[in-house]
């Protein structure tokens, strides 16, 4: 297994809607193994394939670090392929989110609390399930990545303006980060 560099904010691939895959996708098992390795190395709870430079509809989640706060998350470790959010319901709530493509940035983001999702696992078995709370929150964040949607797209315009300098420094790599990344605007 190897740790892959994570694309930083500003890379156009992060803004691209990812493509569905099937069993014939080359090297899928290795890619998933590498993504786990990469996510744990960066101490994340979720990682989407576009963040490691693959524009495909795949994301992984291990929410067990949140299990102390939310016992339903004990052992929540899953691979989501070709996911489709069928329904989002409930009163939107704020939660302070981070993203491995935005080191040093955490912001309160509003999302709906309940979701119904259709997806395939790594063996391409079909599932349709419902999630709520933090599990739904993490799924929606990672799902967004496969749609080419970033945390910043959820910010109000004013917040985006206020964070402009910070976002530019992230894309240039002018930040401290302790896991491998690729910065789109870094001078070489
Ligand atoms: Ni993210």
Q: 24: CA distance to ligand 1 center in Å? A: 26
CA–CA separation, 46 and 134 (whole Å)? 12
SS3 of the chain: the string is CCCCCEECCCCHHHHCCCECCCCCCCCHHHHHHHHHHHHHHCCCCEEEHHHHCCCECEEEEECHHHCCCCHHHCCCEEEEEEEEEEEEECCCEEEEEECCCCCCCEEEEEECCEEEEEEECCCCCEEEEEEEHHHHHHHHHHHHHHCCCCHHHHCCHHHHHHCHHHHHHHHHCCCCCCCCEECCCCCC
Residue 45 scores a pLDDT above 80? yes
| Percent of the chain with pLDDT strictly greater than 70 | 99
pLDDT tens column, 140-167: 999 999 999 999 999 999 999 999 999 9
Residue 120 scores a pLDDT above 80? yes
Find the mean pLDDT for residues 8-13: 97
- Tell me, yes or no, whether 159 lies in a domain: yes
**pLDDT band at residue 72, thresholds of 50, 70 and 90?**
confident
Residue 101 scores a pLDDT above 90? yes
- Tell me, yes or no, whether 54 lies in a domain: yes
| Percent of the chain with pLDDT strictly greater than 90 | 94
**pLDDT band at residue 25, thresholds of 50, 70 and 90?**
very high
- Tell me, yes or no, whether 187 lies in a domain: no
**Pick from 50-59, 66-75, 100-109: least confident:** 66-75
> Residue 30 sits in a domain of what CATH number?
3.90.45.10
- Tell me, yes or no, whether 188 lies in a domain: no
Which among 95, 62, 84 is positioned nearest to 18, based on CA atoms?
A: 84
Residue 55 scores a pLDDT above 80? yes
Domain holding 131, by residue range, is: 6-181
DSSP letter at 56 equals B
Residue 135 scores a pLDDT above 70? yes
Residue 188 scores a pLDDT above 80? no
pTM for this one? 0.96
Q: 150: CA distance to ligand 1 center in Å? A: 7
**Pick from 68-72, 113-117, 134-138, 139-143: least confident:** 68-72
Cβ–Cβ under 8 Å, residues 67 and 21: no
- What is the biggest distance separating any 2 CA atoms in the chain, rounded to whole angstroms? 47
- Tell me, yes or no, whether 147 lies in a domain: yes
- Tell me, yes or no, whether 1 lies in a domain: no
- Tell me, yes or no, whether 137 lies in a domain: yes
- Tell me, yes or no, whether 122 lies in a domain: yes
Total structural domains within the chain = 1
Catalytic sites, residue numbers: 142
pLDDT at 175: 93
């Amino acid at each position: 297994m190897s740790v892959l560099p994570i694309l930083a904010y500003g890379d156009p691939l992060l803004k691209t809607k990812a493509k569905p895959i099937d069993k014939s996708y080359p090297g899928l098992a290795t890619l998933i193994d590498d993504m786990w390795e990469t996510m744990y190395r960066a101490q994340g709870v979720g990682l989407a394939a576009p963040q490691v430079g693959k524009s495909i509809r795949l994301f992984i989640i291990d929410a067990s670090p949140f299990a102390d706060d939310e016992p339903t998350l004990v052992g929540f470790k899953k691979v989501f392929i070709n996911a489709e959010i069928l329904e989002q319901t409930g009163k939107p709530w704020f939660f302070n989110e981070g993203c491995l493509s935005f080191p040093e940035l955490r912001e309160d983001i509003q999302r709906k609390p309940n979701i119904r999702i259709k997806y395939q696992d790594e063996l391409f078995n079909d599932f349709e399930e419902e999630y709520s709370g933090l599990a739904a929150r993490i799924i929606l964040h990672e799902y967004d990545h496969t749609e080419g949607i970033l945390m910043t797209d959820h910010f109000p315009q004013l917040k985006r303006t206020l964070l402009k300098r910070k976002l530019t420094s992230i894309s240039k790599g002018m930040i401290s980060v302790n896991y491998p990344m690729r910065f789109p605007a870094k001078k070489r």
